[in-house]
Chains A and B, each alone.
Chain A
Amino acid sequence: SAVISQKPSRDICQRGTSLTIQCQVDSQVTMMFWYRQQPGQSLTLIATANQGSEATYESGFVIDKFPISRPNLTFSTLTVSNMSPEDSSIYLCSVRAGSPNTEAFFGQGTRLTVV
């Protein structure tokens, strides 16, 4: 199993500013992902955080808006840049350890409100 510490747990931010969310895992993991979840909605994959290289973004998400770092196998950050109220959402860090046929573990999530 993997224990994920994600912070901050929530924040209220002014539009036009940026917020960086941190994800710390208690063990080395192969795969790290960032999701967005609107309240009561499904999880939408933003990007795969690649260790030592640029993240792989899903359709509709771009690096300038959601820069991601992954300096090692236990840590990643997601920045939400130049925020607008439409960015208000829950952001979740997720990891899968070992081979792809493994379960995903999630951080507690960051509830972001942009005013």
Chain B
Amino acid sequence: GQQVMQIPQYQHVQEGEDFTTYCNSSTTLSNIQWYKQRPGGHPVFLIQLVKSGEVKKQKRLTFQFGEAKKNSSLHITATQTTDVGTYFCAGDAGGTSYGKLTFGQGTILTVHP
């Protein structure tokens, strides 16, 4: 079945440093989504990428979808303590997957003030 690998598993940064997490799918995706989960909370949707090579920005966050629609990345510029949490990518294979999302392992981000 479809697998989504995400690295790194953990990332510790000083406030103001940049952060990047990478996601790679074993199959071509219809779209990829990114979620943030704060400690003790539930996943919250950040963004969806659909087109090959797509780049989207949300303030300090930049999301990219690879040309082959199998990999993606999330980059945060100048991290803040409010960025703390676990970032998940989730791949949607489309078609007969009927809306199922396959989540990566997640990257736990710690920001030291």
Report if A22 contacts B (CB, 8 A): no
B102 at the A interface (CB under 8 A): yes
In angstroms, Cα B108 to Cα A3, docked, is 26
Q: How far is the CA of A26 from the CA of B12 in the complex (A)?
A: 38
Q: Are B48 and A101 in contact (CB under 8 A)?
A: yes
What is the bound-complex CA distance between A113 and B104, given in angstroms?
25
B88 touching A101, Cβ below 8 Å: no
Q: Taking the nearest CB of chain B, how far is it from the CB of A101, in angstroms?
A: 6
- With both beta carbons as reference points, the residue of chain A lying nearest to B42 in the complex is identified as A106
Per-residue interface assignment for chain B, residues 22 to 53, with 1 indicating a CB less than 8 Å from any chain A CB and 0 otherwise: 00000000110101000001111100101000
Q: Shortest distance in angstroms between B70's beta carbon and chain A's nearest beta carbon?
A: 17
What is the minimal beta-carbon distance from A111 to any residue of chain B, in angstroms?
A: 9
* Interface residue range, chain A: 20 to 34
A52: interface (CB < 8 Å): no
Q: Is the CB of B43 within 8 A of A100?
A: no
Question: Which stretch from A13-21, A38-46, A61-69, A72-80 is at the chain B interface?
Answer: A38-46
A-B contact pairs, 26 of them (CB 8 A): A30-B99, A31-B98, A33-B99, A33-B100, A41-B105, A42-B104, A42-B105, A42-B106, A44-B103, A45-B100, A48-B99, A56-B98, A59-B1, A92-B43, A100-B30, A100-B92, A100-B94, A100-B99, A101-B30, A101-B92, A102-B48, A103-B45, A104-B43, A106-B42, A108-B42, A109-B42
- What 9 A-B pairs have minimum CB-CB distances, sorted nearest first? A103-B45, A106-B42, A31-B99, A100-B99, A43-B103, A42-B105, A42-B103, A96-B99, A106-B43
| Residue ranges of A at the interface with B (Cβ–Cβ < 8 Å) | 30-31, 33, 40-45, 48, 56, 59, 92, 96, 100-109
**Given A103-B33, A109-B42, 4 more contacts at CB 8 Å?**
A33-B101, A43-B88, A48-B99, A103-B45
